[in-house]
Structure 1
Amino acid sequence: MRAFLFDLNGTMIDDMSYHARAWTKLANGDLGGNFSPADIKREMYGKNPEVMVRMFGKDRFSADEMRTLSMNKENYYQAEYLPDLKLIDGLEDFLAAAKKAGIPMAIGSAAIPYNIDFVLDNLNIRHYFEAVVSADDVELSKPHPETFLKAAQKLQVSIADCIVFEDVPKGVEAAANAGMVSVVITTTHTEEEFEGLTNILHFAKDYTPDFFNQLIQS
């Protein structure tokens, strides 16, 4: 049986620019950093504490401080993005068709539950997914395969039957490390930035092409 595993940010919703703004506000505004947009884009993957360590060093903040700063960043993000919150074009039809076809689906994201719930509940799409793996459920972030392996385990499907939907090279690398193929949504990275990754089935800017119907029907 096929199964579909979805990253969240940049893959289901086109929100990475809002995350970048929130990180910029936190890192440069609140913490006095001097990070360029390219710096922010390069570092904002994985768990929030991992991002802060990469940007400020491992001894800058205590664990309690990082938890507080992490929530500040997510509150900045949610407040700015909520008025624009929507699924990427074609995705809801794709989810509905996959659900009707009996294809099990899960979310495998480096986001914390607070942000995953923000999306699932505000868009009323929780019913499409049989499992969710968040940052709180794994020890090691992407490109480690733990996120997608746990999602497959929760769905009780073989890794060989999983198709991962991602938007960033680190996520596609995580899928490769899990032994899974990927479909890339090009919201945040160009096709050229995935050079060297050999597990990619298809690139698309959204979920409207016929390719996605074929995934369900094949």
Structure 2
Amino acid sequence: MQAFLFDLNGTLIHDMEYHTRAWQHLLNNDLGGSFGWDEVKPQMYGKNQEVLVRLFGPDRFTPAEMDHWALQKEQRYQQEFRPHLALLPGLADFLEQAHQRGIPMAIGSAAIPFNIDFVLDNLHIRHYFQAIVSADDVTLSKPHPETFLRAAAQLGVAPADCLVFEDVPKGAEAARNAGMDAVVLLTTHEAAEFADLANVRHCAPDYTGAFFQDLLAAVPAP
């Protein structure tokens, strides 16, 4: 592997519970739905507008209304999660060591720039990433491979030479569709949920442990 591509939510930070909570509040309190936690959680992938379409159908909202509610959801999420904002254990050292070794790194996320900026700037890690692909940069969301293929292209690295870090099955599936192996962070899903994805090389709760040190050592020096 020559480059690392990172999803954001649930992969750099452990925040998916807060996303689900913000969605459930919006869907039920603001939009008149009656969605339970177990109905909302599986929808936590793709663009916010796509979540609204999956839950309410294609005719409920205008594009402008979907943009409005999508931003409302993110503002609520940020307000609630900000006191808990932190990198997953071991990630700060992993990023720094990868940076020192000259390993190209990118963000490939379905989040909007508003959320990506919230994480990168508040945690002061923007300098680690040479490319950022957000929801605004793609036409087709994960599990379509566009997000990761764009990130690889921006880094100038062949897809087969990229390793993706993800936390949800749809994200690992997007990596597979891009011809990339994946490492799964078990922040929101169980390892068994990735069993049918042959491109998943490893599952771990965080970035501590020998696997990640071995991974860094295996990347050729630039």
TM-score by length of 1: 0.99
Partner of 1:58 in structure 2? 58
Q: Distance in 2 between matches of 1:181 and 1:193?
A: 16
Asked if 1:49 corresponds to 2:37, the answer is: no
Partner of 1:21 in structure 2? 21
Correspondences of 1:39-188 after superposition (within 5 Å): 39-188=39-188
Q: Distance in 1 between matches of 2:97 and 2:137?
A: 28
Question: Which region of structure 1 is more displaced relative to structure 2, 146-155 or 31-40?
Answer: 31-40
SS of the residue 2:61 aligns to: coil
SS of the residue 2:34 aligns to: coil
Correspondences of 1:188-207 after superposition (within 5 Å): 188-207=188-207
SS of the residue 1:119 aligns to: helix
Partner of 1:6 in structure 2? 6
TM superposition shift of 1:160: 1.2
Letter of the structure 1 residue corresponding to residue 77 of structure 2: Y
Q: Distance in 2 between matches of 1:195 and 1:89?
A: 24
Letter of the structure 2 residue corresponding to residue 53 of structure 1: V
Q: Distance in 2 between matches of 1:83 and 1:210?
A: 30
Gaps (5+ residues) in structure 1? none
1:80-102 per-position Cα deviation (integer Å, ceiling 9, x unaligned): 00011000000010000000001
Correspondences of 1:198-217 after superposition (within 5 Å): 198-217=198-217
Letter of the structure 1 residue corresponding to residue 117 of structure 2: D
Q: Distance in 2 between matches of 1:62 and 1:211?
A: 47
Q: Distance in 2 between matches of 1:126 and 1:111?
A: 15
Q: Distance in 2 between matches of 1:21 and 1:69?
A: 15
TM superposition shift of 1:134: 0.2
Q: Distance in 1 between matches of 2:55 and 2:43?
A: 7
Letter of the structure 1 residue corresponding to residue 140 of structure 2: L
SS of the residue 1:72 aligns to: helix
SS of the residue 1:35 aligns to: coil
- What is the aligned residue count? 218
TM-score by length of 2: 0.97
TM superposition shift of 1:32: 1.2
TM superposition shift of 1:194: 1.0
Percent identity (aligned): 63
1:16-39 per-position Cα deviation (integer Å, ceiling 9, x unaligned): 000001001100111111111111
Q: Distance in 1 between matches of 2:63 and 2:114?
A: 18
TM superposition shift of 1:195: 2.2
Q: Distance in 2 between matches of 1:118 and 1:192?
A: 31
TM superposition shift of 1:44: 1.9
SS of the residue 1:66 aligns to: helix
Q: Distance in 2 between matches of 1:134 and 1:64?
A: 19
